[in-house]
Amino acid sequence: MGEINDVRIFAPEQDIASWQSLFEKMEAQGLVEIVQKPDKFYEVRGSEKLKRGYFKIKLLRCDL
C-alpha cells in the first residue's frame, strides 16, 4: 500500500463522474488519497457513448 495507482475508466461520462464521486467519498473516509483527477474526459475511438477518465489514486488503508 502507499503506491500511486493509475486508474483508467472507460464508461459513459455520467458514470465516470459517479466514480469520481465515489473516490471523493473514500478520500473523506481516509481510505484513499486522490492525487490527480481528470481535467477532462477523452473520446474513445469507435464509440459515441464512451469516454475515458484518468485518475491517480493512492491507497491509504485497507481493513480487509
In a domain, 40, yes or no: yes
Containing structural domain, residue 46 = 4-59
Q: Does residue 64 sit within a domain? A: no
Specify whether the CB–CB gap between 16 and 9 falls below 8 A.
Answer: yes
Q: Give pLDDT, residue 37.
A: 95
Confidence band (pLDDT; 50, 70, 90) for 9?
very high
Please provide the DSSP assignment of 18-55 as one string: HHHHHHHHHHHTTSEEEEE--SSPEE-TT-SSEEEEEE
The per-residue pLDDT for range 17-63, each reduced to its tens digit, is 999 999 999 999 999 999 999 999 999 999 999 999 999 999 997 66
Q: How far apart are CA 31 and CA 40, in angstroms?
A: 24
The answer as to whether 24 is a domain residue is yes
Is residue 42 domain-resident? yes
Contact call for residues 31 and 61 (beta carbons, < 8 A): yes
- Provide the pLDDT confidence category of residue 2 given band limits of 50, 70 and 90: confident
What is the value of pTM for the model shown?
A: 0.85
Q: How many domains does one find in the chain?
A: 1
